[in-house]
Amino acid sequence: MTATSPSPAEPAPIPVVVAGALGRMGAEVIKAVVAAPDCTLVGAIDTTPGHEGEDVGLALGLGELEVALSGDFEGTLCQASQAVRQAGPGGGAVLVDFTHPSVVFEHCRGAFAYGVHPVIGTTGLRPDQLADLAAFAEKASMGGAVVPNFCVGMVLLQQAAAAAARFYDYAELTELHHNRKADAPSGTCLKTAELMEELGKPFKEAKTGERIEGRLVRTVEMTSGRHALIERSRDFTLVPWRPVLERQLGKPVAGIMRDGGINWTVGRQRSGPSIS
């Protein structure tokens, strides 16, 4: 008689909470989770009026899923965190976030606080916010992921752009989006710039109150409007375009970044004309 060892137990499916459940990407994530044998949908967060308490499957035309839509972000995470405690080491719930740049940072912090692993598809996180989230994750001994673009083709394009950047004095990134895009430049664009920066062609985002000084190279058309590309000694940046800059192409310019634009001083002289 031959003894057989018992087969290992099947791993429990990963509990998944989707934030932005009724959005275009959130709906696709829910479809993927429902179809995946190793995942289970445990929460659906969305603040669209008139859908509180509605079954998310019925709202998306997928049939009843027995998961109610909720606008209570922390309450939904609290329920999902129960799975974390029950799963033990290496287990736990996952938050997939496709919401808005204005709330994604706090969503990430909340996920770590409740022991839920964040997978962030929402773009718009600043470098300092990413650094803070990395510190939160380390303190919590948890993993997470920030993925500006889930498209394999875009990942390949980013790598190609990073490889090509080393052969040029400066690189320009131009993107087009629908008129409801929440962030511009997009997270995909900024991530591409970061990859190119690693090869010595840095892009630096202009901050409010920062002095911008360099050569006005050209204009860049983006969804958020027309921008001026300013080349500096070690990097380049994009700032809002003003028609009065048309005559300054190729010339040195300087100015202070403001909330509604930039106050320019053109030419090399210290007391040059001011363009507000």
Cα–Cα dist 231/213, whole Å: 8
Specify whether the CB–CB gap between 40 and 64 falls below 8 A: no
Specify whether the CB–CB gap between 203 and 172 falls below 8 A: no
Dihedral-angle region of residue 124 (phi above 0 means left; psi in -120 to 50 means alpha; beta otherwise): left
Is 117 one of the catalytic residues?
Answer: no
Please tell me which residue in 100, 117, 139, 177 is annotated as part of the active site: 177
Cα–Cα dist 16/70, whole Å: 14
Is 181 one of the catalytic residues?
Answer: yes
Q: Where are the beta strands (DSSP E) in the chain?
A: 14-19, 39-45, 69-70, 94-97, 117-120, 145-146, 211-222, 225-231, 236-240, 252-258, 261-266, 274-275
- Residues with Cβ within 8 Å of residue 114, at least 6 apart in sequence: 74, 77, 78, 80, 81, 84
SS3 40: strand
Cα–Cα dist 41/17, whole Å: 6
Q: Are strands 261-266 and 117-120 parallel, antiparallel or unpaired?
A: unpaired
Q: Are strands 69-70 and 39-45 parallel, antiparallel or unpaired?
A: parallel
Please tell me which residue in 51, 117, 178, 181 is annotated as part of the active site: 181
Closest CA to 209 of 132, 247, 263: 263
Q: What positions carry a catalytic annotation? A: 177, 181
